[in-house]
Chains A and B, each alone.
Chain A
């Protein structure tokens, strides 16, 4: 069997979705860990975003990380394109629909709405890239200030940019809604990815389901708390 046949069969296409999904889940762990550095301020009043800026600098300055970033964009690209193709192809499998729809009988709404939830996340992602990735990677000369720690070389002050962006209530609302979409998407996607790549043993399926519920609550909640804690002055309040 050729690789092209393997990955373009109905099962192979789902492998692509599952593997890229799991890859993006691993990215979320790194992302939430780095961003959580903004809360260093809660235990050290003098931090003022130092830990976060240093972590953001590490993610931007290292060539290894920058190369991995290309892999990340590729992962996003494949997941999004394959997701839309599957959505449209699958919808076309039933040209004549039912008079009385099944609705949520037998399947929760979010399990059937991965395309919609994914689209909401994509819209959020565009806003998010516009707010942070482009300023910190491309237009930093005009959009970011610089800060120096311990007499070292100046680094980009992404922390101040965060404070500025999340001082606007509508932006905070958009980000929280983005996190809601992410939570529902993960609630199905996390466990479904494992089962798609062939995990069928009862104990592992139970683990994937349990971990999926925990992950889809904890990670989006942490992400949502970032703009909220900045907007309400829970961090950087000194």
Chain B
């Protein structure tokens, strides 16, 4: 692909902290390489802001390889920008052309309060996982890997669900700010495997309870979450979660 440089107008959400009101600030960035990642473009802008004695734009990032789920920007009306199945760090500037205006916002949901600028607090996801996203295992010698037989299709489906990186793009895209795609991925990948069997019922009940406590909305199957998920988690998992919840709720002995 041919390399080119571009000048862009950025409208970025700036917010000092969770208490203060935020606002959009407009920045002109020039000579941006089409081979830069979106985060590198923000890095360039931040270096300039620091040189000018201004506060750089705060944003979450870690691996910059599309696997950690830390980077989280709502770009021109879509989580992680225009590319399909992509994280912000893997969005490259060749997605844009010279003269474009790009509006960058943080994830918006009551359960993801803004900490600063584009950084939101996603510890609500951690608390949901703490409520049941684990399995009980015997400690001691590792069990032989082939001792427990698992059907290939189920292993594949469990692996596909386990690919969720907990980035929160599903919540950001959902009109209801629902975390059901995230939760369903966490529940599915354990419900599909024999290792998840012991806590199968309590897991789904406790995790749904925690999700509600955190203030996320209900799923109305608009499928916007699936469309923006960097790991292409399927909404089929949400149906599986609902089935798990129904069976657990109706058959639980408490």
From known contacts A6-B249, A195-B238, infer whether A98 and B224 are also in contact, taking CB-CB under 8 Å. no
Q: B182 within 8 Å of A by Cβ?
A: no
Interface set of B (CB-CB < 8 Å, partner A): 11, 13, 24, 74, 76-78, 103, 105, 108-111, 173, 175-178, 180, 205, 208-209, 211-212, 215-224, 226-228, 235-246, 248-250, 252, 254
Known A99-B103, A198-B239, A198-B240; contact A12-B249, beta-carbon cutoff 8 A:
yes
- Chain A residues 186 to 218 lying within 8 A of chain B, measured CB to CB, are 188, 192, 195-200, 202, 205
Contacts of A96 in B (CB 8 A): 108
Contact call A11/B217, Cβ cutoff below 8 A:
no
Give B111's nearest chain A residue, CB to CB.
A93
Shortest beta-carbon distance from B38 to chain A in Å = 16
Determine whether A114 belongs to the interface, using a CB cutoff of 8 Å to chain B. Answer: yes
Say which residue of B77, B78, B217, B248 sits within 8 Å of A93 (CB atoms): B217
Chain B proximity of A89: nearest CB distance (Å): 7
Chain A residues with CB below 8 A from B227, complex form:
105-107
Whether B220 contacts A11 by the Cβ 8 Å rule is no
| A95→B109 CA distance, assembly (Å) | 7
Q: Is A124 an interface residue (CB 8 A)?
A: no
Of A11, A111, A114, which one neighbours B245 at CB under 8 angstroms? A11
Q: B78 contacts A107, CB within 8 Å?
A: no
Cβ contacts under 8 Å, A112 to chain B: 175, 222, 224
* B252 x A1 contact (CB < 8 A): yes
Which of B109, B216, B224 is close to A102, meaning CB atoms less than 8 Å apart?
A: B224
A92, closest chain B residue (CB):
B110
Count of A-B contacts with CB under 8 A? 139
Known contacts A6-B249, A94-B177; A197/B242 CB under 8 A:
yes
In the bound complex, do residue B78 and residue A9 qualify as a contact, i.e. CB atoms below 8 Å apart? no
Binding site for B on A (CB under 8 A): 1, 6, 9-15, 86, 89-103, 105-107, 111-112, 114, 188, 192, 195-200, 202, 205
Verify A205–B173 contact, CB threshold 8 A. no
Q: Are A106 and B223 in contact (CB under 8 A)?
A: yes
Cα–Cα distance between A15 and B208 once the two chains are bound (Å):
14
B13: shortest Cβ distance to chain A, in Å?
A: 8
Determine the chain A residues whose CB is within 8 A of the CB of B224 once the complex forms. 102, 105-107, 112
How many Å from the CB of B235 to the closest CB on chain A? 8
Chain A residues closer than 8 Å to B222, beta-carbon distance: 107, 111-112
Instruction: Determine how close the nearest CB of chain A comes to the CB of B239; give it in whole angstroms.
Output: 4
CA distance A196 to B236 in the complex (A): 10
In the bound complex, residues from chain B placing their C-beta under 8 Å from that of A93 are 109-111, 176-178, 215-217
With contacts A9-B209, A11-B241, A93-B109 taken as known, whether A107 is within 8 angstroms of B24 at the C-beta atoms is no
User: Can you identify 16 A-B contacts, CB atoms within 8 angstroms?
Assistant: A1-B205, A1-B252, A10-B208, A10-B218, A11-B218, A15-B242, A93-B216, A94-B110, A99-B11, A99-B24, A102-B224, A106-B173, A107-B227, A111-B223, A195-B239, A197-B246
